[in-house]
């Protein structure tokens, strides 16, 4: 049986499916990816050559340069794609099971944030470890679209 990966935005308006084999997975630290993701790096997996398809609404695109468009959910804003002349890459965090996609190279390291080297030195807490500091978490009900099996 063909392994199908599924994913989408946090509100569920945009969903996608793609079958194995996925392309190369990477993280990009370049300043353009930082801005596009609102984050310090962009984890992306290439879907070039796959049968990738949108199964609900399509993302809206912003042309971040003359050569590349960035796809995002028009309703909730979740960053979803990097679309270049040589193919499309999808945000790994948007997959229902991002742990199954393992990057093995870093791009754009000229803009890499220096504290990235120290993340593993910091204390580790689960979400509920902070329940006393943030008691509202006890009553939290997610409105995000659930991960599918």
Residue 73 sits in the site that holds Zn ion (CB under 5 A): yes
Check residue 48 and report its DSSP letter.
T
CA distances (Å), origin 101, targets 20, 59, 76, 77, 139: 11, 22, 24, 23, 32
Q: Least Å distance between CB 27 and Zn ion? A: 9
Residue 88 sits in the site that holds Zn ion (CB under 5 A): no
Residue 87 sits in the site that holds Zn ion (CB under 5 A): no
* Element containing residue 31 per DSSP (H, E): helix 31-37
Site for Zn ion in 108-147 (CB under 5 A): 108
Residue 94 sits in the site that holds Zn ion (CB under 5 A): no
- Can you tell me which of 25, 30, 40, 57 binds Zn ion, judged by CB under 5 A? 30
Q: By the 8 A CB rule, do 44 and 91 touch?
A: yes
Q: Given the rule CB under 5 A, which residues bind Zn ion?
A: 9, 11, 13, 28, 30, 33, 73, 75-76, 108
């Amino acid at each position: 049986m063909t392994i199908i990966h599924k994913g989408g935005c946090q509100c569920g308006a945009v969903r996608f499916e793609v079958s194995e084999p996925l392309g190369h997975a990477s993280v990009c630290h370049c300043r353009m990816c930082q801005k596009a993701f609102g984050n310090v790096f962009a984890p992306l997996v290439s879907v070039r050559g796959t049968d990738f398809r949108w199964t609900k609404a399509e993302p809206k695109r912003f042309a971040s340069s003359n050569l590349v468009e960035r796809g995002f959910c028009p309703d909730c804003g979740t960053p979803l794609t990097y679309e270049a002349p040589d193919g499309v890459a999808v945000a790994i965090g948007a997959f229902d099971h991002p742990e199954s996609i393992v990057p093995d190279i870093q791009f754009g390291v000229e803009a890499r944030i220096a504290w990235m080297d120290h993340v593993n030195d910091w204390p580790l807490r689960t979400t509920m470890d902070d329940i006393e500091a943030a008691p509202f978490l006890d009553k939290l009900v997610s409105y995000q679209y659930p991960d599918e099996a």
